[in-house]
Amino acid sequence: MIKVWDYKKEYQNEKEESLAAVEAVFESGVLVFGPHLEEFEKKFANYCDCKYGVGVGNCTDALEIALRALKIGNGDEVITVSNTAVPTVSAIVSAGAIPVFVDVDEYHLMDVSKIEDVVTEKTKCILPVHLYGQSVDMDSVAKLAQKYNLKIVEDCAQAHGATYKGKKVGSMSDAGAFSFYPTKVLGAYGDGGMITTNSEELGDISQRLRFYGMEKKKMSSGHWNGKYYSLEHGINSRLDELHAAILLKKLNHLDEYILTRRKIAKRYDNELSSTSMILPRERHDNKYAYYVYVVKHPKRDLFVEKLRERDIHLNISYPWPIHTMAGYEYLGWKDGDLPITERYANEIFSLPMYPTLTNDEQTEVINAVKEIDKMLM
């Protein structure tokens, strides 16, 4: 069986240093808001070419906190895409704002030429999603944000280490939001997230909002003060010491992970170019981190069925555009409003893509794809 993602192989490769990290946390006696989190926040922010990092419980919280820190809330409109994971939109709604969708381009990314069409007097923010590990055209987003005095929050959940014109995702906006869910390019062994920013004020507000709106200060003894006093309404969203310690170790391997993913993608590109599938494309000014390797085929469902019969497992990201889901029907969008997004939802699926995918496993996937492709032609 070839899995969509194989946590066990990754764990075996990094078992010694991961367990050492866990032991160091237990020996320290500090499980939350400790030195490992502080160090990881600094090092990950630095990796993203940002000054500040704020560790939180997950990327959904990172997005919500970033929006709230930017004073985006009730009745404000946030422009984003429907071809994304539900948490992107869930965070906007949780912040009290209204998601407004634009269609996507041939790279599965926000079609920046459509943004201006939906800007209104209520628009306060653009939230581009660097889907599948590739950056949106951020120069165009920045120009529109400047023209209409809008904030920008980047959804970087799937794009750790990806770049646009040499700039790291998460550094080209007011704030970036990252996920450390286990399957991600940089993943923990549970949930985790991070806000990145170059604004000290935004960083301070985000730290407060992640902890019930309270401002935690250290006393001269080095311990946190015990005053439970909220300056504003916040939430409980913490990246704990255990995961921060593990992520510190794994951060040292992030560039290696991305290089391996890119090599796997290059082989898929070369060996599947003669098939009838539409393969992913890398924008000329991007470095694609290849969180997933997403292809398109008009007979997607049959293709997927045949691969699963061969014990090759894969994902469809995402089979239902968010604007068509019952949970967001109240927003007033309907089938046909985003034609490219809707067409892609019926055609896309992703082949196995992770650093521990072996050459033999990839060969098996490639051979199966070629056989099925001939069968369906």
The pLDDT value given to residue 224: 56
The pLDDT value given to residue 352: 97
Rg over alpha carbons for the chain, rounded to the nearest Å, is 21
The pLDDT value given to residue 228: 72
Segments of the chain with pLDDT less than 50: 219
The pLDDT value given to residue 218: 52
The pLDDT value given to residue 217: 60
One-letter amino acid at 355 equals: P
* Domains of the chain, CATH where assigned: 7-251 (3.40.640.10), 254-376 (3.90.1150.10)
Write down the pTM of the prediction.
0.96
- DSSP output for 195-250: EEES-HHHHHHHHHHTBTTB---B-TTSSBP----BSS---B----HHHHHHHHHH
> In whole angstroms, what is the distance from residue 251 CA to residue 36 CA?
13
DSSP letter assigned to residue 320? S
The pLDDT value given to residue 225: 59
The pLDDT value given to residue 129: 98
